[in-house]
Amino acid sequence: MLKKRLIPVLLLQNGQLVRSEKFTLHQVIGNPIHEVERFNHWSVDELIYLDISRDDHYDLRRDDKKVRGLSSSLEILTEVSKTCFMPLTWGGRIRSLEQMQAIFAAGADKITLNTQAWREPALITEAARRYGSQAVVVSIDARRHPDGRLEVCVEGGREATGMAPEDWARKVEALGAGEILLQSIDRDGTARGYDLDLIQRVAAATRIPVIALGGVGDFMHYAKGIEAGASAVAAANLWHFKELADRGGKRALARAGVAVRM
Amino acid sequence: MARIVVIDYGMGNLSSVCNALAAAGATPLRTRHPEELATADAIILPGVGAFAAGMENLRAGGFLPALREAVLEQGKPFLGICLGMQLLADSGSEHGHSAGLGLIPGRVERLAPPPDGDFRLPHIGWNDLAIRRHDGLYADLPDGENFYFVHSYVFVADDPGVVSSTCEHGVEFTASLEAGNISAVQFHPEKSHRAGLKLLSNWLSRVGKA
């Protein structure tokens, strides 16, 4: 039986590990390589890296510059993949197939697209054709408005798209995405638990696995995400501030009757 | 020291495979040159991606005759991983019908779990194996061990006798093949932490004896 996955998400900003709150507040919390050694020692199910640096200004006319902008973070990936024998997903600022090639070569198994998938949906299809759907994750960042309406946002939450998350999810699946990383912007860093309605909507609209992210503050929140339809439950901040974050999370899931790999 | 050659044909993440082999005690050599197979003691064909693209890249790289010679005629130990397992089949149906290497009789088809259950595809994540043979890849690994899978297509072998483990995702499917000098796994040992490293070192110890 396929196990539900428990996934730490590492947020990188200019080569540092950071914690995030509502996509706006970022605080440096440590060295990305040391943290990963801990996760490797714990034998975690999988790792997701999101490079949320914004300092690099992308000039779309200069391909060489785009690749160079990634290189310092890719050094981290190269280093990490030497000793981590677990699945690695890499995302953030990916704009082209050439960048994906560099990321896979550095040791990633999957890439995740967000803003560029919205700007250039054909890139999802091209990536899936070249690397297989299983290697192409689309990240969806959703904001809940005061009236309860959900809307997909891109550019790190700064640009609204006018589209509902379930509609965009359906579309990216049809375009060839193999997995969805679904993040609630409002819950980010709040420790209030997942936006379960958001997970339900997207999981019901698709047949590909959905990874839930955003809002976990307690191990008990994970099982709620699975019940809402997620195939994997992810968190970022919690992994740095709770003791035994992997074991504790897995035990809470198992106690709730969820099949996990212990 | 045994010469373990990892075929680089532009299909996915070879560094992980090489890093894991190094951790399991080998010194792998990755190559784009088919003539390296002639001097290899053992061969690994890794890979992720689509069947047709994989075959096309092997053909374009000149690997088809060299693989046949090394694996079938000279009987060198061979390990196929994920797409590298699927390509052993006679044919694949991903993005249209295409011929495979034909080293193990069978075909590659899309996994077809029952539509009424919540069996999402691709099949991504950790799943446990029902191990049928404990004398090769799975020596000292317990039945029910979890490995990391990421795929939508599966190998359907003509001869069930070559299937050394199965897995289930709504339907039972082949998780590994062991037939003489040929071994192949649908999952990713290089991504399966300690269990995966153990499997690789089991394979490597067979290479030593070959």
Convert chain A into a string of H (helix), E (strand) and C (coil).
CECCEEEEEEEEECCEEEEEECCCEEEEEECHHHHHHHHHHHCCCCEEEEECCCCCCCCCCCHHHHHHHHHHHHHHHHHHHCCCCCCEEEECCCCCHHHHHHHHHCCCCEEEECHHHHHCCHHHHHHHHHHCHHHEEEEEEEEECCCCCEEEEECCCCEECCCCHHHHHHHHHHHCCCEEEEEECCCCCCCCCCCHHHHHHHHHHCCCCEEEECCCCCCHHHHHHHHCCCCEEEECCHHHHCCCHHHHHHHHHHHCCCCCCC
Q: Indicate which residues of B carry an active-site annotation.
A: 82, 188, 190
Instruction: Write down the mean pLDDT value for chain A.
Output: 90
Which of B168, B132, B161 lies closest to B147, judged by CA?
B168
Domain residues for the domain of A176 are: 5-255
What integer pLDDT is reported at residue A56 of this predicted model?
Answer: 52
Cα–Cα distance between A135 and A120 in angstroms, integer? Answer: 18
Type of residue at A120: E
Cβ-nearest to A209 among B20, B124, B151 = B124
**Residue A201 reports pLDDT greater than 70:** yes
Which residues fall within 8 angstroms of residue B205, CB to CB, at 6 or more apart? Answer: none
- Total tally of structural domains belonging to chain A: 1
**Residue A66 reports pLDDT greater than 80:** no
Residue B89 belongs to domain with CATH number: 3.40.50.880
In a domain, A209, yes or no: yes
**Residue B167 reports pLDDT greater than 50:** yes
According to DSSP, the β-strands at B78-81 and B182-185 are: parallel
- Contact call for A4 and B23, based on CB within 8 A: no
Chain B residues close to A137, C-beta within 8 Å? none
Q: Does residue A243 belong to the interface with chain B, where contact is any CB pair within 8 Å?
A: no
Domain residues for the domain of B154 are: 4-209
What integer pLDDT is reported at residue B210 of this predicted model?
Answer: 53
- Total tally of structural domains belonging to chain B: 1
In a domain, A260, yes or no: no
Q: Does residue B198 belong to the interface with chain A, where contact is any CB pair within 8 Å?
A: no
pLDDT tens-place string over residues A99-136 = 998 898 888 999 999 999 999 999 999 999 888 899 99
Q: Does residue B150 belong to the interface with chain A, where contact is any CB pair within 8 Å?
A: yes
pLDDT tens-place string over residues B145-160 = 999 999 999 999 999 9
Q: Are A36 and A80 in contact (CB under 8 A)?
A: yes
What integer pLDDT is reported at residue A71 of this predicted model?
Answer: 60
CA distance B20 to chain A (A): 7
Structure tokens at B70: 């090394």
In a domain, A76, yes or no: yes
Nearest residue in chain B measured CA to CA from A173 = B121
Cα–Cα distance between A203 and A102 in angstroms, integer? Answer: 31
Residue A179 belongs to domain with CATH number: 3.20.20.70
Please state the ipTM of this predicted complex: 0.91
